[in-house]
Amino acid sequence: MFDFSVVTKWVDDLLNGILSPTWATFIEFVLIGVCILTAYAVIALALIYIERKVCAFFQCRLGPNRVGPFGLLQSVADMFKMLIKEIIDIKHNDKFLFNLAPYVVIAASVLAFGCIPFGKGLHILDFNIGIFFLIAVSSIGVVGILLAGWSSNNKYSLIGAMRSGAQMISYELSIGLSILTIVIFAGSMQLSTIVESQANGWFLFRGHIPALIAFLVYLVAGTAETNRGPFDLPEADSELTAGYHTEYSGMHFGFFYLAEYLNLFIVAAVASTLFLGGWMPLHIPGWDGFNQIMDYIPSPLWFLGKTAVMIFIMMWFKWTFPRLRIDQLLRLEWKYLLPINLINLVLMVIIVVFKIHF
């Protein structure tokens, strides 16, 4: 299996060889910044296209197919338009916060994006409390949403933001607890260690029922975290027109739009990292030949493949279910997911303590 740290090491050595360490570090920062932003944009555009195609297929229609081959350039066209669309300045709003909010949202998702291990050695941030950091930065997004709703001076926006706040705070618990379950199992918070320790089987399979339950809870809570249907209350089209981003236009709205898709990607990526082994190929203990063949598939492909499956499942949710009402949403969390999660956590501890896992 190809280790990407070879490449990064080579670049690092090269830069250090010809430049002073300060400059080398600086250039590395810039390089990584460019890479991460490019990847961010490309993934978001691809996801927008995929979402539109997938939802079309669920709805017995074709979806974009006229702009470029199979409509592949559709989201590129959207981007061009959005970039030069007017950004409307609104009276009676809190100018500073109003303009700040989309950047907070996008910054939160970029930070979280940076933690994700894409492949073997293809890692930007990897430190011993990686998963903790990821949860922390991804929750900054809700601040952006609240700011957007508050500063817009629009009643729909405010209701949307308040809903979003209630929703995020509730479901953050479930996400945290289900991740905690896996952290107990893996014994580490470092993402690379978590992935490495799944070499002999993904946690979803090794962790018995508690891992499976944690996975399902994570899926539900993760969908809620991204504000996607059936949990899209903060921007519920048919209730609040466009919710917290009602007043945003042009690229400011574009940031919300991109962040929504990137959050989808991040949630799916974390799910595949924690439960499905991340970039780790499918290994079945004992089947050495099979395992070797699996190793030939590059690790980023494994990662993206698993993430794609997770994304499809979340799109499937969105395009099947009706939207929940706010009280149902909270009931689901506090009456069902949270108790299940707590019991699940205890179960996992028992399993780990008595070593009855695979």
Partner 1 sequence: MNITTYLKGFFNGLWSLLVGMKTTLRIFFRKKTTECYPENRGTLKMFDRFRGELTLIHNENNEHKCIACGICELNCPNHTIRVVSEKITDADGKTTRVLQRYEYDLGSCMFCELCTRTCPHGALAFTPTFENAVYTRSKLVLKLNREGSKLANKK
Partner 2 sequence: MKYEDFKDNEALEQLRASGTNIIMGSLDKLIDWGRSNSLWPLTFATSCCGIEYMAVGAARYDFSRFGFEVTRASPRQSDFIMVAGTIVHKMAPVLKRLYDQMAEPKYVIAMGACAISGGPFKDSYHVVNGVDTIIPVDVYMPGCPPRPEALLYALMQLQRKVKVEKFFGGVNRKEKKPEITQVID
Partner 3 sequence: MIALKEKITSLVPAAAFDEAAIPTVTVAASEYKQLAQQLRNDADLQFNYLLCMTGMDFGDSLGVVILLESTTHLHQIYVKTVTADRENPYIPSVSDIWDTARINEREVFDFFGIRFTGHPDMRRLFLRNDWVGYPLRKDYDAGEALNPVPTENEDIRDTTLTYEALPDGAIAARERTVFESEEYVVNVGPQHPATHGVLHFRVSLEGETVKKVDVNCGYIHRGIEKLCEKLTYPQTLGYTDRLDYLGSHQNRHALCMCIEEALGLEIPDRVKYIRTIMDELQRLSSHLLFWSCLCMDLGALTAFFYGFRDREKVLNMMEETTGGRLIQNYNVIGGVSADIHPNLVSRIKEFLTYLPPMLKEYRDVFTGNVIAQQRMKGIGVLDTATAISYGVTGPSGRASGWACDTRKRKPYAAYDKVEFKEAVRTEGDSFARYLVRIDEIEQSLHILEQLVDNIPEGDYAVKTKPVIKLPEGCFFKSVEASRGEFGVYIESRGDKNPYRMKFRSPCLPLVDVVDMLSRDGKIADLIAIGGTLDYVVPDIDR
| Site residues, partner 2 (CB under 8 A) | 52, 56, 59-67, 71, 73-74, 76-82, 84-92, 153-156, 237, 241-242, 245-250, 253
| Position 230 contacts partner 3 (CB under 8 A) | yes
The span from the CA of 132 to the CA of 36, in Å, is 20
Binding test (CB under 8 A) with partner 1, winner from 2, 58, 103, 132: 58
The span from the CA of 252 to the CA of 352, in Å, is 47
| Position 57 contacts partner 1 (CB under 8 A) | yes
Count the residues of the shown chain that bind partner 3, applying the rule CB under 8 A.
Answer: 28
Residue pair 74/67 in contact (Cβ under 8 Å)? The answer is yes
The span from the CA of 96 to the CA of 243, in Å, is 20
Binding test (CB under 8 A) with partner 3, winner from 39, 326, 349, 352: 326
Interface stretch with partner 1, choices 9-17, 137-145, 239-247, 311-319 (CB under 8 A): 311-319
247 makes contact, choosing from partner 2, partner 1, partner 3, none, with CB < 5 to 8 Å by partner type, with partner 2
Work out whether the CA dihedral 210, 211, 215, 216 comes out positive or negative: negative
What are 122's strand-pairing partners? 119
Nearer to partner 2 by C-beta: 145 or 345?
145
Helix H or strand E encompassing 321: none
**What's the min distance (Å) between Cβ of 326 and partner 1?**
18
325 makes contact, choosing from partner 2, partner 3, partner 1, none, with CB < 5 to 8 Å by partner type, with partner 3
3-state DSSP assignment of residue 122: strand
What does the CA dihedral 171, 177, 181, 186 come to, rounded to 10 degrees?
90
The span from the CA of 49 to the CA of 254, in Å, is 15
| Position 81 contacts partner 3 (CB under 8 A) | no
Residue pair 273/119 in contact (Cβ under 8 Å)? The answer is no
336 makes contact, choosing from partner 2, partner 1, partner 3, none, with CB < 5 to 8 Å by partner type, with partner 1
**What's the min distance (Å) between Cβ of 4 and partner 2?**
34
Binding test (CB under 8 A) with partner 1, winner from 336, 342, 343, 350: 336
Please report, as a single letter, which amino acid is at residue 68. Answer: G
Binding test (CB under 8 A) with partner 1, winner from 80, 96, 127, 321: 321
Q: Give the CA radius of gyration of the chain.
A: 21
Residue ranges in 59-94 assigned as alpha helix (H): 74-84
| Position 334 contacts partner 1 (CB under 8 A) | no
- The phi and psi torsions of 119 (rounded to 5 degrees) equal -165, -175
What are the DSSP calls for 18-44, one per residue? HS-HHHHHHHHHHHHHHHHHHHHHHHH
Binding test (CB under 8 A) with partner 3, winner from 156, 171, 205, 253: 156
Binding test (CB under 8 A) with partner 3, winner from 325, 339, 343, 346: 325
Binding test (CB under 8 A) with partner 3, winner from 238, 354, 356, 358: 238
For residue 187, give Cα distances in angstroms to 26, 182, 214. Answer: 34, 8, 16
* Chain residues in the site for partner 1 (CB under 8 A): 57-62, 316-317, 319-321, 336
* Chain residues in the site for partner 3 (CB under 8 A): 55, 58-61, 155-156, 159, 163, 229-230, 232, 236-241, 319-328
